[in-house]
Structure formats: structure tokens, C-alpha cells
């Protein structure tokens, strides 16, 4: 108890000392005193600056002697006066404190001390048009005088203001074309159409803005594997908010999207197999114009990749039925985030089949009968394909020439894959046409394989018969010779 009391007294004393030092520094800052008399804008803004509130004087950034009465002494280079820093010297001046854990701690700050390090590896670290300094400096986003906490609504990087701060450059066509002509400059317009942008415009600081997805000091190109918006990193970036139950509670939307996506065929391809071409969140929802697709436009979103499936569905009888019931097209059968691999089990009238959700023996009977027949045809082709593979392997193992039949197996496989696409037309005629082609090819393979196997056995039997005949002739010849030899011996 006594030790705790001692610690309390120590920290209280230290705090008083820091406050006293801060107030003393303020009182003796002759630079600020003169500039306030002149009523120049920097001095007025500095009075609201977070650095001023922490006891940092003008000399903290500009150098010199803030206690000197004479201007020449205060701005003497021997006293460390550097004037107004230019280019990278600006950020280096900030880094003197912001990269030092000890100094930041002495000011009572818990801010991270790696911002300058991150900035140097970010996309903004590219050379400016002058070719000497980084594109962006600390003051580009935070201002030079009048800097306030990011939590302060007046800060340029406050969530409701950062959009304007970023677009000062990113909506400037002339400037952006100077650095990257392929980079779009309409992000702000798109963002304002998104759910995030609309909520942000209404004053909700919790919704995603530029830094939420791209980062702040460590912004990297979307093609950089370390970028927060790189394809394989993007789902995790979105999940930072959308999987946070407490954070999303006020928005009344599910928070299991990432969990479902990670188990989906798209998520497995991207997150486990590292296929950068696999769909991520932005593939369906958009980037800056992020918004969930409406029921009628789901197929258009899916159709950007699954074009043939979407075209077949658009001309199918289900298109009209789905529109009447306002059902999302692809999503109704395949789900949205937890999209599973399409297998034959989805087709038909069994309990696990998708068709059986709407079509039964007593409801929507025509669709029930068609689904049942289509599944029967699919199963027949699968069974025959399996049988053909066994026949081809058997013939090949017996050393028979079977290359043509083996090559045609690909056509059967292709017919099965095409049939899965043809399902989306929900036309018995079109589906049967694809399956029939596969069945005909399978019949050819079966005939070729069986003929090769029969020929193998025919050759074996023929070889056995021929071997037997040759053996008999050899034995007969041997006996005949022996008899001749015996007869010659007797005659002698």
C-alpha cells in the first residue's frame, strides 16, 4: 500500500513537472509572441495546434532559439534555425519526434512511431515531378500549422473529411495523369454512390473511407502483395469491420460473410490456392462504388465471369418466374457468400437437390419431371464414362493401341461439363442434345476398347494354338528323325 502511494506521488509530481515545463515553454516562446503581434495566419492556427497544447514551440520544427529577444539571435543558424523546411525535410522534421518512442512518451503520446518508415515504403514515396522528394509529405494530409488529433472533427484526416483530403490530388486529372495515366479520377463520384459514401455524407464517421481500406501511412499499390487491397488481402480488409459484431451492431447486417466466403469455392480458390483471379468482395460489390447488387442484377454481376450461364438463364423459363417472385437469380440456387462447388447432387428431385426446393411430385410437376429426367441422363453419362475409363485402362495395360479412344474420353468429360452449363437453360431439349453427344462418343469408346480387348484375347488364343501346333510338329519331326536314325543303324 505504501509503495502504491509512493508511485502515485511520483507520477503526480512528474505530471506537474511536465505541465510546468510546457507552460514555461509557451510563455518564453518569443517566436510565437512576435508572429501573434503580426497576426499572421500560421501563428493564429498554431494556437489550436496539438503540438502547442503539448508545450512544443515554433523552434520544435523550425529550429533556432525561441527564448531570444532579438530576431537575429532567434533565427541564427548556429542555434539550429532551419527556417521553413522543404520537400522531404518536412517529413524528416516531423520524424525527429514521431519516430522516437522516448520523445513521444515524454509528450504523453501513445501514437505509433513508424509512420515515417511506412511513408517511405508507400506508393506516395515515389518521386515527385521535380524528381527530388516524395510525392506526399506529412503536411500534405495533416496540414502544417493547426494540426489536431485525427479524432477531432476539424482534422483533414477525420473520417468525414478524409475523402476531401484525398481527392484534392486523386480527383485532379492533370496531377494524376502526370504520375499514373491509368489511375481513375472518379473515385469520389463512385464512392458517393456506395453505401459507405452515402452514410459518410450523412455524417456517420464509422463507415469505410479511403484510409479504412487503403491504409494511412502505409498505402501501397493494389498490385503490391503487401497492400491491404491486394486481391488475397481484400477479404480480410473488409472483414476488419464486417466481421466485428460490436462494430456492425447498429447496421443490422450479418457479420458472418467472411466466415462463409472462406469456405466457398471462391474463397478456397483465393485464400487457399492463391488464385489471384478468383472473385473477392470487390468483384461482386464493387470497389469505391461498393453496394450489394439488387435481386435483378445479381445475374449480371455473376455473368461477368459466368457469361454463358447467365445468357442461358436469361432465355430460360425460370427468368420470368424469378422476376415475378423477385428472387435473386444466381443467388437463389447457389447462395451468395457461401457458394459451394457445383456437383450433380444439385440437380434432380432428391432431398439435397436444389430443384426439389420448388418442384415436387404435386407442385410444379412439369419441372419436377424434367429435373428427374435430366438427373437420370447425367447419371447415365457419368456411369458410362467411368466404365469407358476402365475399358481404356484395361486395353492399354494389355498393350493394345487405344490412343484414339483414350483421346475421345476428353470429349465425354467435356460433354458432362457442358451439360452443367446447359442446365441453366432449363430446357430438356438442349440438355438432352448435349448429353446425347456425350453418350454417342462414349459408345464409340466402349466399342473401340472392347474390340481391342477381344483382339488381345484372340491373339492370345491364336498364339496358344499356333504354339501347340508348332510343338506337335516339332515332336513329330523329332520322333521321325529318331526312327530314321534307328532304321539306318539296323540296316548297317
Mean pLDDT on 39-47: 88
HEC string of the chain equals: CHHHHHHHHHHHHHHHHHHHHHHHHHHCCHHHHHHHHHCCHHHHHHCCCHHHHCCCCCHHHHCCCCCCCCHHHHCCHHHCCCCCCCCHHHHHHHHHHHCCHHHHHHCCCCCCCCHHHHHHHCHHHCECCCCCCECCCHHHHHCCCCCCCCCCCCCCCCCCCHHHHHHHHHCCHHHHHHHCCCCCCCHHHHHHHCHHHHHHHCCCCCCCCHHHHHCCCCCCCCCCCCCCCCCCCHHHHHHHHHCCHHHHHHHCCCCCHHHHHHHCHHHHHHHHCCCCCCCCHHHHHCCCCCCCCCHHHHHHHHHCCCHHHHHHHHCCHHHHHHHHHCCCHHHHHHCCCCCCCCCHHHCCCCCCCCHHHCCCCCCCHHHHHHHHHHHHHHHHHHHHHHHHHHHHHHHHHCCCCCHHHHHHHHHHHHHHHHHHHHHHHCCHHHHHHHHHHHHHHHHHHHHHHHHHHHHHHHHHHHHHHHHHHHHHHHHHHHHHHHHHHHHHHHHC
Q: Is 430 contained in some domain?
A: yes
Instruction: Give per-residue pLDDT as tens, 293-327.
Output: 877 778 888 999 999 999 999 999 999 998 888 88
Mean pLDDT on 333-339: 91
pLDDT at 25: 52
pLDDT score of 379 more than 80? yes
Instruction: Give per-residue pLDDT as tens, 84-137.
Output: 999 999 999 999 999 999 999 998 899 999 999 999 999 999 888 888 898 999
As a whole number, the mean pLDDT across the chain is 89
pLDDT score of 421 more than 80? yes
Q: Is 447 contained in some domain?
A: yes
pLDDT at 211: 96
Number of domains in the chain: 1
- 363 against 242, higher pLDDT: 242
pLDDT at 438: 94
**Range of 427's domain?**
365-453
Q: Is 390 contained in some domain?
A: yes
Judge contact between 396 and 406, C-beta under 8 A: yes
Instruction: Give per-residue pLDDT as tens, 353-377.
Output: 999 988 988 888 899 999 999 999 9
Instruction: Give 38: exposed, middle or buried? Use CB within 10 Å, 0-12, 13-18, 19+.
Output: exposed
pLDDT at 374: 93
pLDDT at 492: 67
Q: Is 182 contained in some domain?
A: no
Say what percent of the chain tops pLDDT 90: 65
Whole-prediction pTM value? Answer: 0.78
Q: Is 410 contained in some domain?
A: yes
Q: Is 403 contained in some domain?
A: yes
Instruction: Give per-residue pLDDT as tens, 189-210.
Output: 999 999 999 999 999 999 999 9
Q: Is 434 contained in some domain?
A: yes
pLDDT at 3: 52
pLDDT score of 17 more than 50? no
pLDDT at 26: 57
Q: Is 104 contained in some domain?
A: no
pLDDT at 161: 96
Mean pLDDT on 230-256: 95
pLDDT at 433: 94
Amino acid at each position: 500500500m505504501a509503495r502504491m502511494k509512493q508511485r502515485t506521488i511520483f507520477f503526480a509530481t512528474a505530471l506537474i513537472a511536465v505541465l510546468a515545463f510546457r507552460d514555461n515553454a509557451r510563455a518564453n516562446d518569443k517566436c510565437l509572441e512576435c508572429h501573434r503581434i503580426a497576426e499572421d495566419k500560421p501563428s493564429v492556427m498554431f494556437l489550436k495546434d496539438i503540438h502547442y497544447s503539448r508545450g512544443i514551440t515554433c523552434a520544435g520544427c523550425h529550429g533556432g532559439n525561441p527564448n531570444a529577444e532579438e530576431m537575429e539571435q532567434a533565427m541564427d543558424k548556429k542555434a539550429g534555425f532551419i527556417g521553413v523546411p522543404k520537400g522531404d525535410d518536412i517529413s524528416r522534421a516531423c520524424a525527429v519526434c514521431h519516430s522516437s518512442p522516448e520523445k513521444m512518451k515524454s509528450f504523453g503520446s501513445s501514437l505509433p512511431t513508424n509512420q515515417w518508415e511506412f511513408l517511405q515504403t508507400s506508393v506516395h514515396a515515389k518521386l515527385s515531378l521535380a524528381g527530388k522528394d516524395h510525392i506526399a509529405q506529412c503536411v500534405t494530409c495533416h496540414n502544417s500549422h493547426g494540426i489536431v488529433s485525427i479524432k477531432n472533427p476539424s482534422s483533414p484526416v477525420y473520417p468525414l473529411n478524409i475523402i476531401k483530403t484525398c481527392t484534392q490530388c486523386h480527383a485532379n486529372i492533370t496531377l494524376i495523369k502526370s504520375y499514373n495515366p491509368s489511375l481513375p479520377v472518379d473515385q469520389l463520384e463512385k464512392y458517393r454512390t456506395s453505401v459507405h459514401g452515402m452514410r459518410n455524407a450523412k455524417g456517420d464517421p464509422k463507415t469505410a473511407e479511403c484510409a479504412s481500406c487503403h491504409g494511412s501511412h502505409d498505402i501501397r499499390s493494389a498490385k503490391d502483395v503487401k497492400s491491404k487491397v491486394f486481391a488475397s488481402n481484400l477479404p480480410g480488409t473488409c472483414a476488419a469491420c464486417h466481421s466485428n459484431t460490436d462494430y456492425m451492431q447498429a447496421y443490422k447486417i450479418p457479420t458472418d460473410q467472411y466466415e462463409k466466403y472462406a469456405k466457398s469455392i471462391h474463397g478456397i480458390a483465393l485464400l487457399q490456392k492463391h488464385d489471384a483471379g478468383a472473385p473477392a468482395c470487390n468483384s461482386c460489390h464493387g470497389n469505391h462504388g461498393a453496394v450489394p447488387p439488387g435481386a435483378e442484377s445479381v445475374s449480371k454481376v455473376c455473368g461477368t465471369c459466368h457469361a454463358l450461364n447467365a445468357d442461358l438463364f436469361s432465355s430460360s423459363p425460370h427468368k420470368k418466374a424469378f422476376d415475378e417472385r423477385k428472387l435473386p437469380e444466381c443467388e437463389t440456387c447457389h447462395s451468395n457468400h457461401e457458394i459451394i462447388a457445383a456437383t450433380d447432387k444439385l440437380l434432380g428431385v432428391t432431398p439435397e437437390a436444389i430443384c426439389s426446393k420448388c418442384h415436387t411430385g404435386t407442385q410444379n410437376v412439369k419441372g419436377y419431371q424434367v429435373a428427374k429426367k435430366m438427373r437420370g441422363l447425367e447419371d447415365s453419362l457419368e456411369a458410362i464414362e467411368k466404365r469407358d475409363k476402365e475399358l481404356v485402362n484395361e486395353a492399354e495395360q494389355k498393350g493394345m493401341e487405344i490412343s484414339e479412344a483414350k483421346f475421345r474420353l476428353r470429349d465425354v468429360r467435356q460433354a458432362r461439363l457442358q451439360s452443367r452449363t446447359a442446365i441453366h437453360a432449363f430446357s430438356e431439349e438442349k440438355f438432352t442434345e448435349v448429353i446425347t453427344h456425350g453418350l454417342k462418343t462414349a459408345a464409340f469408346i466402349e466399342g473401340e476398347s472392347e474390340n481391342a480387348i477381344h483382339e488381345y484375347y484372340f491373339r492370345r488364343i491364336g498364339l496358344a494354338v499356333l504354339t501347340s501346333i508348332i510343338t506337335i510338329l516339332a515332336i513329330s519331326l523329332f520322333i521321325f528323325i529318331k526312327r530314321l536314325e534307328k532304321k539306318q543303324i539296323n540296316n548297317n
